[in-house]
Amino acid sequence: MRAVDLIIKKKNGQPLSKQEIHYLIKGYVDGSIPDYQISALLMAICFQGLSSEEQLFLTTEMLESGEKIDLSSISGICVDKHSTGGVGDKTTLVVAPIVAACGLKIAKMSGRGLGHTGGTLDKLESIPGYQINVSSAEFLKQVEEIGIAVIGQTANITPADKKLYALRDVTGTIESLGLIAGSIMSKKLASGANSILLDVKVGDGAFMKTIEEARELAQAMVRIGNGFNRRTVAVLTNMDEPLGYMIGNSLEVIEAIETLKGQGPADLKQLCYDLSAELLMMTRIKLTYEEAIQLIEEKVTSGEALQKLYQMIAYQKGNPNVIVDYSLFGTAPYQYNVLANEEGYIKKIATEDIGIAAMLLGAGREKKEDKIDHRVGIKINKKVGDFVEKGESLAVLYANQENSEAENKVRRAFTLQKKKTEKNPIVIDIIR
Amino acid sequence: MRAVDLIIKKKNGQPLSKQEIHYLIKGYVDGSIPDYQISALLMAICFQGLSSEEQLFLTTEMLESGEKIDLSSISGICVDKHSTGGVGDKTTLVVAPIVAACGLKIAKMSGRGLGHTGGTLDKLESIPGYQINVSSAEFLKQVEEIGIAVIGQTANITPADKKLYALRDVTGTIESLGLIAGSIMSKKLASGANSILLDVKVGDGAFMKTIEEARELAQAMVRIGNGFNRRTVAVLTNMDEPLGYMIGNSLEVIEAIETLKGQGPADLKQLCYDLSAELLMMTRIKLTYEEAIQLIEEKVTSGEALQKLYQMIAYQKGNPNVIVDYSLFGTAPYQYNVLANEEGYIKKIATEDIGIAAMLLGAGREKKEDKIDHRVGIKINKKVGDFVEKGESLAVLYANQENSEAENKVRRAFTLQKKKTEKNPIVIDIIR
C-alpha cells in the first residue's frame, strides 16, 4: 500500500476501505507518512467528502490511537454534552449542574476557545483558584461523589485527532463535514459516556452557517455515535445572535449563575432547559418533555442546581463564594457604552463579529499561545427584535483600555430597520 | 499575507493574484512555507483549476526562480521541441537532425524517462561514449558550430518547478492542466529558444487520454508561450499505439537512424516530417507545407540529415559509427517472440501496458533511482489494422532473462477482432 495511491483514489472520488484508512492514520501518527501527503489527502476529502462508512473508520482510528476513559466504575448513568461552539455559549455551566441535580452523572472534558468562540475551560478559570488539570482517578472520584466534573483533557485521548487537527488548521482543511464529525465524535467516544448530547450551533456566529449543513453534520455525528452503540442526540440551535447577553469569561459565568438562580435571559434559559430535558429523556425513556421540564424547574427553584455548581467549584479548588459575590471575579477597569446612531428595531446581529470584538478586547485567542484576560468582554443590551432609541446603548464593552477597533466592530454588528422582525426559535430541530 | 488564507481562497474557487502566487512560490522555494501547505494548495488547484492568468503568473514565478539560458549569441534561428511523452517516441532523434540540416539551430535540453514513457537522454546514452553533461559554454559553442545539440539540463533552470514537481509526484497532484502547462512551459521558456514546438501526445500510451484534455493542455501551453512572446505551436498526435515498431533505448536509436536513412516506419516518418515542417514554417513564414516537406525529403535523401546526427554524436563524444554498425550498441542476450493465440485484425494496442512491459524488461525506470539496461526492449511486429495469423509473432522481447510478466503484458496488450478497423491519423490537430 502506498499513501500516494490512496490520495489519488480519494481525489478520484472512490471510497477508502477500513484497512486503507487504518494505514493512513497509523502511518501519520507513527511518522512514516509525512505531513505533506496527509494534507493533500485532507484537501481531497474536503472536495470528495467521506461516506458514512469512511467516517466510522476514521473515527475508529482516531479513537483507538490513544487512551480511553473508563467510566464503568461510576454508579448511575454517565452523560456527556458537546457544543460545536458559538458566541456567549455558557450552556455547559448551566446544564451540567441541572442534570447533576436531577441525578445524572456528568463527566465532562472541555476545551479552550479559539477565534471568535469561547471555551468552557477559559470561563471556569475566571473563577479564582479553579483547577482544570485533574488526574483520571480524581476525575472519577469527583463524578462518583458529587455527580459533576468539568475538567481539561486528562488522559492522552485521540492523539491522531490532535495531530490531524493541527494540520487541518494550517492547511485550510478544517471545513469538511466528515472530518469535523470524526474529530468531535472520536473525542466524545474516548471520554467514555454512554449518552452523548450534541448542541450543533447554526447561524452567523457558528461554524455551520446554514441549517442544511448543520443538519448534515448533526446526522453524521448521531450516525457515528449510534454506530458505536452510544445513545446520541443532536440539537440544532440558533446562533444568529449571541446566546444571552454576556460574552467574555467571568461575565458568562455570572450569567450562568443568574440562570441557575432562575434569573437568566429567556433564550439561554430555554436552551439550557431544553438541553437538560433532552439528556433526562435520553436516559429515562418514559419521561415526557413536560415532566422533564417540571423536574428541572424544581431543581432550579429549590437551589439544588446552583448547589451542584457550588460543589463542583469547591471540589476543583475554586472559590465557590463567587456564586454570591460577583466582585470576587474582579472587574475590567474600563466600561463604556456603544451607542446607537439611529433608532429602529434590531434586524440582525453579526454574531461572529461580536465574538471577534470580544477576542480583540482580550477575552479570546487569535492564536493558541495568546493570553486571556478573564474580566473583559461585552454585554449586549439589545437582541434581535428589540427597539433601540437613537443614542441608547447597544452594548457595554468591558475592557482594559479604549479599543476603537472592537467598538466599531460592535456598532457595525447591529443592523436596524423600521419594522420589527420575528426571532427564530432557539431550538431549531432535534435529531435523535 | 498568510499561506493558509490563500489555500482557502483557492479551495473556494477564487483566483489568486500575481502577488499571491509570487508569495507562495517564493516562500516554498526559500523554505518559509512548508511542504504540507503547498501540497494542500496543489490539491485545491487540482479541483478548482488555474485561470489563464494564474497559469501565466505561475509560469513566471517558476521561470524567474532560476537561471535562464541566453541563446542570443547564436547566429540564426534557435528552435526547441518538446513531447509530453509516449511509448516508442524517438521523434527528437529524427526531427532535430532534419531541421538542423535545413539550417535551423536546435538547442535542446532533454529529460529522462519515468514510468511507461522513455526519455531522450536515456536513448542517447545507449550510444557508447555519448555525453549528456555539457557546460553552458560548450552547449552554445556546439549549437553555433554544427546547429544541433541534445543535452541534459545544464544550468539550474526552474528550481521552483523541480521542487513543486517532486511534491506533486508524491501527493497525487500531477494531473492538473494548469500545473502541467506551467511546468512544461517554464522549462521551455528558460531554455531560451524563440520558437517552441510542442508535441502533445494523446491516447492510451500518453498522459492525456482524451483529445479534449490534450487540446485544452495544448491551448493552455500555446497561450503561455505567446504570453511570453515566443512563437509557440502545439501538435496533437496519436499515441493509441506505440510510435514506430521499436520500444527501448538502443532499439529506438536504431529506428531513428533508419528513418533518417529514409527507411523508417510510415507513422514515425510522417510524424517526424510533419513536426519538422511545422518548425520550418514557424520560422520561415512564407514557406508552404508542401515546400517544407520537399525540403525535408531532399535533406534526408542527400544524407545531410543523417550527417547532422553523426556530427552531434561525435561532438558529444559518442561513437558515431553506430550509424553504420548497429552491433556497436550491443545486443540483449535473450530474444523471444510473443505469439498470437488466435487470428484476427489488431483492433487496439494497450500502449501504456507495452510501455510498462518495456520498463519491466529494464528499458525504463519505475523509480528515479532505477538503473536502465540500454539494450533491452520490445519490437512490436503488428500495428493497429494489421492481420495476424494464429501462432504468428505479435512482438519480440529483447531481454536479459525470461520475463513472463512482461511477456503476458505484451500478449494481453493486443486486442484482435474479425474485421479490419481504420487507424486514426498520426497528426490529429495543430494549434497555432
Cα torsion A91, A92, A93, A97 to 10°: value is 110
Fold of the domain spanning B78-323: Pyrimidine Nucleoside Phosphorylase; Chain A, domain 2 (3.40.1030)
What is the rounded average pLDDT of the residues A140-146?
96
What is the rounded average pLDDT of the residues A338-355?
94
C-alpha cell at B283: 520560422
Q: Is the confidence at residue A266, as pLDDT, over 90?
A: yes
Q: Is the confidence at residue B88, as pLDDT, over 90?
A: yes
* Torsional class of A85: left (φ above 0), alpha (ψ -120 to 50), beta (otherwise): left
| SS3 assignment for chain B | CCHHHHHHHHHCCCCCCHHHHHHHHHHHHHCCCCHHHHHHHHHHHHHHCCCHHHHHHHHHHHHHCCCCCCCCCCCCCEEEEEECCCCCCCCHHHHHHHHHHCCCEEEEECCCCECCECCHHHHHCCCCCCCCCCCHHHHHHHHHHHCEEEECCCCCCCHHHHHHHHHHHHHCCCCCHHHHHHHHHHHHHHCCCCEEEEEEEECCCCCECCHHHHHHHHHHHHHHHHHCCCEEEEEEEECCCCCCCEECHHHHHHHHHHHHCCCCCHHHHHHHHHHHHHHHHHHCCCCCHHHHHHHHHHHHHCCHHHHHHHHHHHHCCCCHHHHCCHHHHCCCCEEEEEECCCCEEEEEECHHHHHHHHHHHCCCCCCCCCCCCCCCEEEECCCCCCEECCCCEEEEEEECCCCHHHHHHHHHHEEEECCCCCCCCCEEEEEC
- Can you identify the CATH homologous superfamily of domain B332-417? Pyrimidine nucleoside phosphorylase-like, C-terminal domain (3.90.1170.30)
Does the distance separating the beta carbons of A7 and B36 come in below 8 Å? no
Of A83, A176, A183, A186, the active-site residue reads A183
Q: Is the confidence at residue B332, as pLDDT, over 80?
A: yes
Q: Is the confidence at residue B371, as pLDDT, over 90?
A: no
Does the distance separating the beta carbons of B39 and A44 come in below 8 Å? no
- Chain A residues within 8 Å of chain B (Cβ atoms): 3-5, 7-8, 11, 34-40, 42-44, 46-47, 167, 169-173
Question: Is A168 a residue of the active site?
Answer: yes
Confidence of residue A286 (pLDDT cuts 50, 70, 90): confident
Q: What are the structural domain ranges in chain A?
A: 3-49, 78-323, 332-417
The pLDDT assigned to A422 comes to: 84
Cβ-count burial of A430 within 10 angstroms (0-12 exposed, 13-18 middle, 19+ buried)? middle
Cβ-count burial of A278 within 10 angstroms (0-12 exposed, 13-18 middle, 19+ buried)? buried
What is the rounded average pLDDT of the residues A85-90?
93
Query: pTM of the prediction?
Result: 0.88
The pLDDT assigned to B156 comes to: 85
B39: nearest CB among A40, A46, A169: A40
The pLDDT assigned to B368 comes to: 75
Q: A4 to chain B: which residues are within 8 Å by CB?
A: 169-172
The pLDDT assigned to A423 comes to: 83
What is the rounded average pLDDT of the residues A218-247?
96
The pLDDT assigned to A414 comes to: 96
The pLDDT assigned to B415 comes to: 95
The pLDDT assigned to A203 comes to: 93
Of B80, B89, B122, B161, the active-site residue reads B161
The pLDDT assigned to A367 comes to: 77
Confidence of residue A280 (pLDDT cuts 50, 70, 90): very high
Distance, C-alpha A212 to centroid of its chain? 19
Q: What percent of chain A has pLDDT over 90?
A: 88
Question: What value, to the nearest 5°, has the Cα angle with vertex A246 and ends A240 and A252?
Answer: 115
CATH class entry, domain B3-49: mainly alpha
HSE-up of residue B313 (Cα within 13 Å, Cβ side): 24
Q: Which residue of B has its CA nearest to A13?
A: B47
pLDDT in tens, B168-206: 989 999 889 999 999 999 999 999 999 999 999 999 889
What is the rounded average pLDDT of the residues B256-268?
97
Q: What average pLDDT does the structure give for chain A?
A: 94
Q: Is the confidence at residue B103, as pLDDT, over 90?
A: yes
Give me the interface pTM, i.e. the ipTM. 0.86
